[in-house]
Amino acid sequence: MKSAEFSRHFSSGLKAIPLLFFFAVAQPAREPVLPFEKPGAVPKANKIDELVFSQLDALGIKPTYLCSDEVFIRRAYLDLTGTAPTAAQVRDYLAAPAANRRAQVVNRLLDSEAYIAYQALKWCDVLRVKSEFPVNLWPNAVQAYHRWVSTAIRSNQTYDQFARELLTASGVNFRDPPANFYRAVQKKEAFTLASTAALTFMGSRTSRWPKDRFEGLAGFFSKVAYKSTLEWKEEIVFFDPDKPAPKGANGLPIQAVFPDGKKPAIDPSVDPRLVFTDWLLAPDNPYFSRAGANRLWSWIMGRGIIHEPDDIRPDNPPSNPALMAYLETEFRALGYDMRKFYRLVCASSTYQLSSIPSDPALTNETHFSCYRMRRLEAEVLIDIINQFTGGIESYSSPIPEPFTYIPNGKPSVEIADGSISSAFLEMFGRPSRDSGMESERNNTPSAEQQIHLFNSSHIQDKISRSAGLRKILAQPNVKPERILEDLYLSILSRRPTDDEKTKVGAYFQERKEKNKQGEGLIDLSWALINSTEYIMKH
């Protein structure tokens, strides 16, 4: 790609949103599937729906039905907090007035502790928070950094402020945690720092950039210097005006040039990172907001409007340009408030669509005509299994000093350190946090994962000793009907269908005839935990 073409991409926003014609949303040709879908027309709840549905209409694609309330509550919990609702939470929700219960549950979740932990996990993936090779933050810094990220989310720090603190950070890494942004890299030199900044806050991979533009960006990071302290593994990140810049392709020291091709005049006493950050966060810079809005969208929709969300470049256009333009504008208009942004997306019918396509031929569709089914993240899957079964994971730090103590029963989502892992998390594609790329997380099902879920002692022991099941059975005078309902609500967040009740009855009868009736409920728990509905976000 030529530098000039590349620059245009950076300097101009997308075209204004075209005027929309309001079409009625066409209904799928098939009947709704119960209990997963909500019969009836899909309303246009907000601007997102107008933009998505008008594009679908132009493409001749019918959006699918809305998801049922049972599917919605489970989805909202998983997407916003990485947890599943309990049976009681589902019952309360289904008993609440239908009119605004979806919005209410979203509001409650956005205010929860679990939201903070889950968003911290997501951001720490992007920020490469791990102690060991190849990032080598070291445990103290990992804890400080993770706590800082969690605090930023708890206090609802705006996304632009979050970015500014990281991009301009200097200081002692244990006491000024954002300084770790410049340590959580594989090489502490200007080009790697530039790539990291571009990947994190421009959603762009410098490996795709014209050489001179990449050098120009690296120029802003050429004065970042490091020195160690007397404290073991403590490090100071600072602005060193005298640090010589590395040489570029032409053999001369690289100079700071904005990605749009403009050359700033930087006073030698000014940290060039401040100049870059001001450029990036300027209101007329479309890039920052686009990358942020697209990333947050991809986290709850399962796919970026620009896909992948960290591969934004001129020849990778958004699947719905008007929607992208609207969201990047709106994210800025919302003051870069991430909770407000999620609220906006979750309120749309687009988010609330069923994951069963309107037409079986549409399974690879990328224009958001249905919710994207995908496997639960490794940490979330083991956490919700433990949530029901009362099982615990035991994690310990591979680094003896300083030893990181992980209390038993701590949810896997809350583990700060990407170097602290387990065979389960590795098998289920937890990101190694080496590069900060979204694609590091691998949610593809595999045979190894299935045999683990079907038959490993790790999972079997949890299911057969399930605290959740014992609690259900310990209710006074509990009837079989109620046991079954509680089990379904606890595991799948819904009640069993009549067909399922019949099949369960037949299975229990079979086990009874073999004199193994004690196994019936364990086997049913096992089957529900191994069902598609359980291991997939839907």
Binding of another protein at residue 517 (CB under 8 A)?
Answer: no
Window 153 to 192, contacts with another protein (CB under 8 A)? 186-187, 192
Instruction: Tell which one of 26, 442, 467, 471 touches another protein (CB under 8 A).
Output: 442
Q: Which stretch binds another protein (CB under 8 A): 100-108, 117-125, 468-476, 525-533?
A: 525-533
Binding of another protein at residue 200 (CB under 8 A)?
Answer: no
Of 293 and 301, the one with the shorter C-beta distance to another protein is 301
Instruction: Tell which one of 92, 212, 278, 533 touches another protein (CB under 8 A).
Output: 533
Of 295 and 538, the one with the shorter C-beta distance to another protein is 538
Report the residue count for the chain: 538
Of 344 and 492, the one with the shorter C-beta distance to another protein is 492
Binding of another protein at residue 17 (CB under 8 A)?
Answer: no
Window 74 to 133, contacts with another protein (CB under 8 A)? 132-133
Window 378 to 417, contacts with another protein (CB under 8 A)? 398-401
Instruction: Tell which one of 296, 356, 382, 413 touches another protein (CB under 8 A).
Output: 356
Window 18 to 47, contacts with another protein (CB under 8 A)? 33, 36
Instruction: Tell which one of 252, 333, 423, 478 touches another protein (CB under 8 A).
Output: 423
Q: Which residues of 3-39 are buried (b: 16+ CB within 10 A; e: fewer)?
A: beebbebbbeebeeeeeeeeeebbbbeeebeebbbbe
Instruction: Tell which one of 421, 466, 490, 493 touches another protein (CB under 8 A).
Output: 421
Binding of another protein at residue 315 (CB under 8 A)?
Answer: no
Window 215 to 234, contacts with another protein (CB under 8 A)? 232
d(CA 218, CA 254): 7
Convert residues 41-80 into a mask of x (bound to another protein by CB under 8 A) and - (unbound).
----------------------------------------
Q: Which stretch binds another protein (CB under 8 A): 103-111, 282-290, 293-301, 514-522?
A: 514-522
Of 267 and 401, the one with the shorter C-beta distance to another protein is 401
Taking only Cα atoms into account, the Rg of the chain, rounded to an integer number of angstroms, comes to 25
Instruction: Tell which one of 43, 134, 241, 505 touches another protein (CB under 8 A).
Output: 134
Contact 183, 160 (CB under 8 A): no
Shortest Cβ 395–another protein spacing (Å): 11
Contact 273, 167 (CB under 8 A): yes
Window 231 to 270, contacts with another protein (CB under 8 A)? 232
d(CA 181, CA 166): 6
Binding of another protein at residue 1 (CB under 8 A)?
Answer: no
Closest CA to 310 of 326, 325, 297: 297
3-state secondary structure labels for all residues of 276-345: HHHHHHCCCCHHHHHHHHHHHHHHHHCCCCCCCCCCCCCCCCCCCHHHHHHHHHHHHHCCCCHHHHHHHH
Shortest Cβ 6–another protein spacing (Å): 18
d(CA 453, CA 428): 11
Window 450 to 469, contacts with another protein (CB under 8 A)? 450-458, 460, 464
Of 154 and 503, the one with the shorter C-beta distance to another protein is 503
Closest CA to 469 of 489, 445, 454, 453: 489
Strand partners, 155: none
Structure tokens at 460: 């079997």
DSSP conformational letter for 353: B
For residue 202, CA distances in Å to 108, 191, 306 come to: 31, 15, 12
Strand partners, 246: none
Find all residues with CB under 8 Å of 77, minimum gap 6, and list them.
Answer: 83, 84, 85, 109, 493
Binding of another protein at residue 483 (CB under 8 A)?
Answer: no
Closest CA to 221 of 234, 209, 239, 248: 239
Shortest Cβ 471–another protein spacing (Å): 22
Shortest Cβ 496–another protein spacing (Å): 9
